[in-house]
Structure 1
């Protein structure tokens, strides 16, 4: 008998000789059943043979199961493996038994591409590890290699025409990636020829790479623990198979903390050695036909796929870029022909398939209407190009079993975090065409909470509006509610208005409710824009003046900016000025233009020409556009900023710095109601520092700044225009007066003595001097940066007609004069000012001794001149008899430092 078993086990990998179930897929075939029965009977003791027929059959079946279980997994009969499992039909059929799940793959499903996405259903709720977040996606396929099944991510970034030598070269040049693999778990089914692979081995792994995110957050080597990971759910339909994994990550032990460092790395979890994260995997069918791609244009802000096509060498480059967009088509060919013939739409008509957004059942009931309104606002733009009800909103009910994180439901979800909140509007696309396949907007509850506090602290000057939300990322919007972004701005606004005398109101009152609803609505409008394929537009805030925005009637007629895709701060008026709407309310002209370019129905033969005509409108002032890369501090286009308002960013910066000083002045005299915590004053002081740190870079971009436009030839506007000298000098004066002047950052002892702390949060005593020095040091680093020096020197060559520009020497002399102003006045120098002067001296000496590798040569020569002049002033001030001992010691040490720096040889970073 053992020889027979060995022969059958050696029948070959993937073959089923001797275990063919024939026409009885639910049990053993008669031939195999007889063989197993005889084998079992031969092994039975004598008394067992006397049992009745039923007992004998049961024993035979048990023996058969034992023998079959000893077969290699790939040789086990299909139905033997799944005999107690339930079937879940879908794109790939699943079989589930207790904690085990198998995927049944038919031969024709191998090597066929499908859409794979993996999203985060739940997480730890801190340090950028939040629930309800969209993850990654791939075009993937199944591949069988012997008795191993591989889940392969296809490399879609490079291509060539199929069947050409170039296609062969592409396949040789660029690799696919292995996401997971597992052994074959059964022989082929006799009817469908499907075989099984264990989903546990494939998906109870870290395909999303979450361990790296955990290590980035906690600096600890978390590893996925497959033994304690499991499937939370599984479902499917004709075009989708979805599985949710409850993944356990663990540490063997926590490292001992360094002296003075906190020991608990993760306060949001009960035991930092263990945590669970949820991954929702979607295996979805790709569109039956690839949607025609629409070429991207750099004058309009759309996200775009990039594919390098090597089919021919008739173009200068290989990159093909297609805008992200949903497949939105007229309901019938007549509609499409009408739009094509007339060059535009007639009466708006229903699309063949609308864009459907699902409001997840975890969205609070009170905000569902505001969410729906924020989504549907975009139908205004689609109506302009001939689509009626292009966007539809549906509410997920408690009876709906699907998860909105799957690849078949664009959604809006609520999420929470213990340390920060934001909204995000990512998408997942077909990389071959740019077709958007899924979108999941994640909305934190802090927006509504902050808006209620805003309304409670200050009465509305007009009707409530919305406030944009999304963070600065080229491919992902995340407007963080912390740092120097939207969170810092709203908290600054709240504290300023409270300091102006706002009376606490009911957080559940009508004003608070109206503003909270409008704020949520605007957040959703911004995020939906991203999920329609639109990037940020940080130049959009420049199309109206501050005077217009301060008109209470203005915001009822127009938006506060050219696009909802900008980051807009609260529209705060200066004391004595009229107060316009605090927040934006509707789409801007740019938004209509961007939707037209991406979604307007165009005849294929004329599409290139018609798209060029649409894009050529980019020089219209209302369509001003600049995005994330244009807003970087090192780019220095002063018109492209996150969180500014009005057509004069320098005027906005000056106003905001004035509001910061107003807040601090009001804190000096503010009387708190009996019983209120002094932490209110500390918070207001901190918000002022944050606002100052966020506003200074707006002014800094004027120094050596250049207006950079995306125009193509024919607009009569130059792509690069240096900032005028008077504007650069005004910006420099604003910076020096606000940060480096002797009286710029002084606070009374009375205020400092009342800066309470939150004892529950165990915050340390506030050190105002250190906070001031940190702000000043950061400002010195920015204004004295080598990149700023290079900009100024380049601007001298670029200035049209030889017009005067701000010189590098003037910049250095202005900063040095402001920092060391006491020297010419013969005054004592307070400790806070001495600290600033030491920081400046450190940077001055560094320019002489160890200039940066990118420092222009003029930096060292000019700073040597400044050092000599400063040394002379220091020596001249030392004999002053009226100076206190601290000042004299400070001046003496600084003079000696400069002596040594001027005598020392240059330390070169390179030879």
Structure 2
């Protein structure tokens, strides 16, 4: 075995939700500016004659690099013209063991790195390139950028021989793929700890195949580890996986990038550009998008719909169940509606994968192909990652992943959220058309990610609540302005509403965003030239909520996940009305002859969570602040507190429907079929979540600040009084306190106690300094008031358990107000 040296830096593996690939035609690639290396004769430097290395036994596959198999050794023959050219190396797990971690399924990406092969005397070095810092190579500062961003050397290979024409070098790659190199492995750091990986076993590690194509090389290799706690087959102490390494040549002429604007949602590549005139190290961001160019530029310029030179093509996994193939295809091609807004027709195409007879080389891991993968897994999710050129944001491939068990998620939620108004959702085995339509829209959502669009959590708040009860409106406009929102089912529609659309679809924001990101601006020659035109498109839509974009924040009630409409209180009221109709029917809807109540237990549990979610949409309004993304040359502020009267309406909703005991949810017929106990804890957890939301220190800080600027704002003492009177209503209208309410009241005191005992509370990454704020004085006022009210009410409370509860609360309050230590 020849000498092989690897110099690995600590590999910072990129987000595994990004997956790479490229479609390309078979054409030769050259770089005339690259001088060929000089030939070398056999000498003491170890370089051998070509025929001694690449012998008559060699099996050669010609392509980007010629790939040679000689016995059990793998060689790359690298043309001199490709030395120093940038390659994108994408590492994927092709096959995983049973029960492997979460989203690391077959086809999942584990690393993405830009590499160059460079010659250093008689060695070839692999360097990892970074585009975090850039400058034009025509500027003096470029020298400093290079000096302060020295590319790490991942590996070094001795040159084995020089090519026959003296215009290439040959290195052996065998050990690169059979060594434990974490940067290209599927066993990344935290998984090594979880599975107690000890070492790579070389005897059970090997290269399965290596194929070269005009612009990419695909290598599949099996890695086998000794592991103390493998995910499956515990007794073997073995973890094996099949990896696929895709190396693709990045375009010699990069695509023209397009500047990002935070008012329109796009995934981005980010760089610090030191070559700009800004008097600081300025970050620039380019949107991530496919390279779509019109076949007929003149017709495109006239405003005609034109096909792209190279459409976006997705191949369906051969493992896709046949009856669902049409829905998956539709989900992919739904985006043609949006691309037509950008002037392209047939921009997105879905195809079934070729059979082995049609194309024996076809593989879903081949970086030339974008795919929709169907994964046999119990995970309930789908993802839509992609990989892009870090220089420009050009997307070169993506793999949509649909996990088989995700059908279960939508089956359950259709029943829970729409079953009251939609008879088709009232059973465990949904008709193929309904589950297929749902699947179609999930695939479309993930394709949206893969063309560059992130979630837009502000879109659902653009539609009036009553419009979502209109069949005419929902069929035309959907249930949110974009399919990229977490607005999945129409839970607002009520029984008797006609022709309702219950499932999301491509909306007007999608067309707007795709036009903004993909339309070719023929009159512009540079990204800078495009900027005024792009700005004008945004300004044309300014003030129209249909075209707003924002991510979820936790404090903006107009940008929440899983919500619908511009009126969270009324929307959640409708949602609650439907849940109350569903609960009495759950036993019937979930029963299967001869089987137990597992489905009932699962769906009832998810229904409880759904109710907490609806209530959370309301609680966000307490201390809530609306955001509206604007540029500095647009009039108006960006942040506006929720009006006081609406915050009070939200508090009334919580007191009436959340902090009261939810008797409708405590259906004894259900509970005695699924558990021997647990109702008290379940309600406690539900109410605790909402109580914590309202009593959050950040909420009180925002209320206090808003009241500082505007005396008509919802004052923190007003909020605390409204909350106290709701949580402790039995004190003000004397009545027995049931066990659920006693739990709630203890949690109320516990939340206050925490803010007296800890100087910092809240999330670890953003704690609130309680000690120096107004929070403790405000809470002290509330505790004193509550203490006096409890003392007055104690003699009027009718039952002994409630009296004992009040006595205990008074002790706790005294301990908070008058600590002994």
Asked if structure 2 preserves the Cα contact closer than 8 Å seen for 1:555 and 1:585, the reply is: no
Q: Is the 8 A contact 1:119 1:135 kept in 2?
A: yes
Distance 1:735 1:824 in 2: 18
Tell me the equivalent position of 2:5: none
Deviation of 1:715 after TM superposition, in Å, equals: 5.8
Match of 1:707 among 602, 626, 630: 626
| Match of residue 552 from structure 1 | 471
Q: Does 1:207 align with 2:167?
A: no
> 2:719 corresponds to which residue?
811
Which of structures 1 and 2 has the bigger CA Rg? 1
Q: Secondary structure at the match of 1:866?
A: helix
Contact 1:211 1:222 in 2 (8 A): no
Match of 2:706 in 1: 795
- The structural deviation recorded for 1:564 is 1.5
Q: Does 1:425 align with 2:384?
A: yes
2:487 to 543, 559, 568: 568
- Whether the 8 Å CA contact 2:380–2:407 is kept in 1: the answer is no
Distance 1:350 1:183, change over 3 A: closer
Q: Could you tell me whether the CA contact under 8 Å between 1:448 and 1:517 is conserved in 2? A: no
Post-superposition offset of 1:632: 2.3
Matching residue within 140, 156, 159 for 2:134 = 159
CA shift, 1:719, in A, is: 2.1
Q: CA shift at 1:819, angstroms?
A: 2.8
Match of 1:404 in 2: 364
Query: Which has the higher mean CA deviation after the structures are superposed, 323-332 or 857-866?
Result: 323-332
Structure 1, unaligned stretches of length 5 or more? Answer: 1-13, 21-70, 255-264, 340-344, 455-487, 757-764, 907-911
Indicate how the Cα distance of structure 1 residues 323 and 668 shifts in structure 2: closer, same or farther if over 3 A, else same.
Answer: closer
Alignment map for 1:773-788 (pairs within 5 Å)? 773-788=684-699
Q: Following the alignment from structure 1 to structure 2, what is the Cα–Cα distance between the partners of residues 676 and 198?
A: 59
TM-score, structure 2 length as denominator? Answer: 0.85
Quote the Cα distance in structure 1 between the aligned partners of 2:773 and 2:125: 57
Judge conservation of contact 1:184–1:195 (CA < 8 Å) in 2: no
The yes-or-no answer on 1:860 pairing with 2:795 is no
> Is residue 2:768 matched to residue 1:834?
no
Q: Structure 1 residues 576, 195: CA separation in 2 closer, same or farther (over 3 Å shift)?
A: closer
Tell me the number of residue pairs that the alignment of Structure 1 and Structure 2 aligns.
765
User: 2-side partners of 1:554 and 1:566: how far apart?
Assistant: 18
Aligned-CA RMSD value:
3.3
Superposition pairs of residues 105-504 of structure 1, within 5 angstroms: 105-124=78-97, 125=99, 126-145=101-120, 149-178=124-153, 180-184=154-158, 186-189=160-163, 191-192=165-166, 194-204=168-178, 205-208=181-184, 210-212=186-188, 215=191, 218=194, 220-221=196-197, 224-251=200-227, 253-254=228-229, 266=231, 271=235, 273-314=237-278, 318-332=282-296, 334-335=298-299, 339=301, 345-399=302-356, 400=359, 401-418=361-378, 420-448=379-407, 454=411, 489-490=413-414, 492-493=416-417, 504=427
Give 1:577 shift: 3.9
**Which of 681, 706, 718 matches 1:770?**
681
Question: 2:14 maps to what in 1?
Answer: none
Q: 1:415-474: CA deviations, max 9, x gaps?
A: 1212x22221111111111111111111222345666xx5xxxxxxxxxxxxxxxxxxxx
Which residue of the other structure, out of 796, 801, 810, is the alignment partner of 1:895? 810
In structure 1, what is the equivalent of residue 757 of structure 2?
849
1:538 and 2:430 aligned: no
**Does the 8 Å contact 1:663/1:684 carry over to 2?**
no
- Cα distance between partner residues in 2 of 1:396 and 1:333: 31
1:581-611 per-position Cα deviation (integer Å, ceiling 9, x unaligned): 3444642111111111112121125533322
The structural deviation recorded for 1:861 is 0.6
CA contact (8 A) 1:214 1:220 kept: no
Paired with 1:612 and 1:495, the residues of 2 have a C-alpha distance of 44
- Alignment partner of 1:632 is 2:553: yes
Per-residue CA deviations over 1:474-532 (Å, capped at 9, x if unaligned) read: xxxxxxxxxxxxxx74463377679x897658x4xxx7121233222212221222222
CA distance in 2: counterparts of 1:503 and 1:376, whole angstroms = 30
Contact 1:742 1:818 in 2 (8 A): no
Deviates more, 1:221-230 or 1:231-240: 221-230
Q: Contact 2:318–2:353 (CA<8 Å) still a contact in 1?
A: yes
In structure 2, do the counterparts of structure 1 residues 140 and 663 end up closer, same or farther at CA, with 3 Å as the change threshold? same
Query: Cα gap change, 1:449/1:754 in structure 2, threshold over 3 Å: closer, same or farther?
Result: closer
- Pick from 624, 629, 640 the counterpart of residue 721 of structure 1: 640
Report the counterpart of residue 43 of structure 1 in structure 2.
none
Shift in CA distance, 148/897, structure 1 to aligned 2, threshold 3 Å: farther
User: Separation in 1 of the partners of 2:305 and 2:290?
Assistant: 18
Counterpart of 1:646 in structure 2 is 565
1:745–1:854 distance in 2 versus 1, CA, 3 Å: farther
8 A Cα contact 2:421 2:496, kept in partner = no
Question: Does structure 2 conserve the Cα–Cα contact (< 8 Å) formed by 1:849 and 1:905?
Answer: no
Contact 2:89 2:247 in 1 (8 A): yes
Deviations 1:742-794, CA, capped at 9 Å, x for gaps: 456772555432225xxxxxxxx552222222222222222211111111122
In structure 2, the CA distance between the partners of 1:249 and 1:662, relative to structure 1 (3 Å rule), is farther
Q: Deviations over 1:100-156 (max 9, x none)?
A: 322223444332212222223222455332222244322211234566543222011
Matches within 5 A, 1:867-878: 867-878=783-794
Note closer, same or farther for the CA distance 1:878–1:521 as it changes in structure 2 (3 Å cut): closer
1:67 aligns with none
Aligned-pair CA distance for 1:857? 1.9
Structure 2: gaps spanning 5 or more residues: 1-36, 761-767
The CA distance in 1 between the partners of 2:793 and 2:702, in whole Å, is 35
CA gap of 1:230–1:397, structure 2 versus 1, over 3 A, is: same
Q: Which residue of 2 is the match for residue 604 of structure 1?
A: 524
Give the Cα separation in 1 of the matches to 2:590 and 2:296: 69
- Secondary structure of 2:466's partner? helix
Conservation of the 8 A alpha-carbon contact between 1:737 and 1:744: no
In the TM superposition, what are the counterparts of 1:508-547 in structure 2 within 5 Å?
512-547=431-466
Question: For the structure 1 residues 782 and 147, does the alpha-carbon distance in structure 2 shift closer, same or farther, using more than 3 Å as the test?
Answer: farther
